Amino acid sequence: MDVLPPTVDAVNGRTPLSTTAVGEAQVRAAGRSAWHRRAGLLPLAYLMGLVGLGFVHPFLPTWRWLGIHLLLLGAVTNAIVIWSAHFSTALLRTPPPSHRRGEALRLAALNVGVLAVLAGGVGDRPWLGVAGAALVFAALVWHLAWLAGHLRRALPTRFRVTVHYYLAAALALLTGVPVGAGMLVSDGSHQARLLLFHAHVNLLGWITLTVLGTLLTLWPTMLRTRMADTAVRDAVRALPLAVIGLVLLGLGLLTWWRAVTAVGLALFVLGVLMAVRPAVAVARTRPPYAFASWSLAAATGWLLVALAVDAATLLPAAEPTSAADSFGVVLVPLLVGFVGQVLVGSLSHLLPVVLGGGPGPARARAALLDRHGPQRVAMTNAALVVFALPSPPYVRITTSLLILAALVQFLVPAARVLLTTRR
């Protein structure tokens, strides 16, 4: 429950909460639930757009670009902005906001920008896309400033390293967005290098760093167990490795200096392995048991697969063009296996918790989102394995439809949870 009644406090020997304090706490909890009920619809809307794209893509020449940006720029970026603010407030133990006007304006600016980018890319209006990218950039600068100010004002806490991950991730995206905007209006000889830089900085920086920082506390919470004793220490040590590796990787891709690229990718992989080591230790003693935890476990495995495939295709490439052409092989495990499963699994765990109402409704919402969990995880990952292997077109079409079906199995109950929850 959100607040213990005064009678329970008295029985347990604690000073009873005043009626005013209980009322204020209930109002804050209700406000938090209402906010997440509204904001949670944003990622779902882009995922629904992705499902729709799956059925009309033969009629859209730019369907692949649109699908990637619906997932990454639309669904994932909204989820990161919403939930990084939530986790920062919780982990830094700062008072909850009295209003959400600033967050609402940031999300409004972000989504106007995202829609302009999508419209510019699909409609062959590059300057509309550039204007949208500028608005996305501004919204993320605002988000970064909010995170930094929140961290500066907070007292030292054990888990502030998670917010450091969020800051590093936001800086990575702010580096990648202008490059992506420039690619909309240029068609120069360096396009392949810019594409590789844009993809790696955004996928490994913005998304992967955010996920690694969040797993520190989210993973043991999902498994309802204590985190590993070395978890915070490993997270602190992993962050500089991953950041330095990402910087070197980006520089190596822009200059096409393969030795620098190799060192950067190796350091980044080392940082990832160090960050996930405590999660593996926890899973050995308390294995995943629900859809959300199995999704995150599978996603982590696909991240390691994607990094291995990236190294195998990127480092031997003789020129940027061939490396860019081969990067499509990396996108399947990285986008669907890692990013998609992290997003769906995390929301399946978080939405029932933050919508309030006490333990009974929370358990009912969790059970709804966990329904057919083993089938969904097995179907998604089996279909992904088949899709990633060389196979005939009709097999790839069938497996892609199975993955879309698993996404719909999440979207329907998630929308139901958000739309039927009452204060």
First to last CA, the chain: 14
Q: Residue 347: pLDDT above 60?
A: yes
Query: What's the mean pLDDT in 384-411?
Result: 90
So what's the pLDDT on residue 46?
A: 96
Q: Residue 84: which of 210, 175, 177, 209 has the closest Cα?
A: 210
- In sign, the C-alpha dihedral spanning 333, 342, 410, 45 is negative
pLDDT value at residue 29: 58
**The residue to which tokens 């929370």 are assigned:** 362
Average pLDDT (82-89) is 92
180 has a pLDDT exceeding 90: no
Whether 123 has a pLDDT exceeding 50, the answer reads yes
pLDDT at 22: 43
Q: What are phi and psi of 80, to 5 degrees?
A: -65, -45
Which is more confident, 275 or 184?
275
pLDDT, position 423: 47
- Kindly report, residue by residue over 204-232, the tens digit of the pLDDT: 999 999 999 999 999 999 999 999 999 99
Whether residue 17 is predicted with pLDDT greater than 70 in this model: the reply is no
pLDDT exceeds 80 at position 99: no
Mean pLDDT throughout 414-421? 86
**pLDDT of 373 strictly over 60:** yes
- pLDDT for residue 19 is more than 70: no
pLDDT for 273 beyond 90? yes
Quick one: pLDDT at residue 1? 31
Length of the chain: 423
In the chain, % of residues over pLDDT 90:
69
List the Cα angle 243/249/252 in 5-degree steps: 145
CA neighbours within 13 Å on the CB side: how many for 337?
A: 24
The H-or-E segment that residue 365 falls in is helix 359-370
pLDDT of residue 6 exceeding 80, the answer is no
Query: Which of 66, 68, 76, 65 has the alpha carbon at shortest distance from 42?
Result: 76
pLDDT at position 388 is 85
- pLDDT over 70 (residue 12): no
pLDDT at residue 296, as a whole number: 96
| Model pLDDT for residues 279-315, shown as the tens digit of each residue | 999 999 999 999 999 999 999 999 999 999 999 999 9
Asked whether residue 14 carries a pLDDT value surpassing 70, the answer given is no
pLDDT confidence band for 87 (50 / 70 / 90): very high
Amino acid code (one letter) for 422: R
Q: Is the pLDDT of residue 359 over 90?
A: no
Per-residue pLDDT band at 30 (split at 50, 70, 90): low
Does residue 360 register a pLDDT over 80?
yes
Q: What is the average pLDDT value for the chain, to the nearest integer?
A: 88
Quickly state the pLDDT bin for 9 (edges 50, 70, 90).
very low
In the prediction, which pLDDT does 28 show?
A: 56
* Encoded amino acid at 1, one letter: M
φ and ψ at residue 168, rounded to 5 degrees: -65, -40
pLDDT at 21 exceeding the cut of 70: no
Amino acid in position 25: A
**How far is residue 327's CA from residue 321's CA, in Å, rounded to a whole number?**
10
| Mean pLDDT, residues 259-278 taken together | 96
